[in-house]
Amino acid sequence: MERKMRQEANKAHKQEMRAERREERLHSRAVNAAVHGNLGQAIRLESKSQAAGQRAENAHHREVSAAATANAIHFSQHHPHHHPHHHHHNPPPPVVHHHHPPRPQVHVVHHHPPPAAGYPAVPPPRPGYPASYPYGQPPYPR
């Protein structure tokens, strides 16, 4: 396929060169016709010259496209892709956390008024509370 594209590019290049030579020749003839007063022929020849110039441009585009395709085929078949090697770097150093001394714990002491008359000072034991609690009942907060 690459060879076919190279042939297409060469063929288009030859067509481009031929069309450019024809464009130049027709333009020269058109100028010569105009100088000699033959304006009708000059217009006709200049029109043909412009058409040849357009053919040369089209051939040039075909040439460039075919050459690019041939190069792409060549490089895809003859030059393997090189994938970058994966380098394993050492892990980053651990993040150093600055430890601050613990904040002092604040114990808030709540002073409650003594219980009202008839209200038990110590709540009754909860159901299922272990009887083996040291010193009997747990202390009731005051």
Question: pLDDT (tens digit, 9 = 90+) per residue, 85-112?
Answer: 666 677 777 777 666 677 777 666 666 6
| Inter-axis angle of helices 39-78 and 2-35, nearest 10 | 160
CA angle 39, 15, 75 (to 5 degrees): 145
Average pLDDT, the chain: 81
pTM: 0.53
Averaged over 44-52, what is the pLDDT? 97
Size of the chain, expressed as the number of residues it contains: 142
Confidence of residue 78 (pLDDT cuts 50, 70, 90): confident
Which two structure tokens, joined as six digits, stand for 87? 């380098």
pLDDT value for 139: 59
CB-CB contact of 32 with 24 (8 Å): no
Q: What residues does each domain of the chain span?
A: 2-78
Residue 120 DSSP class? -
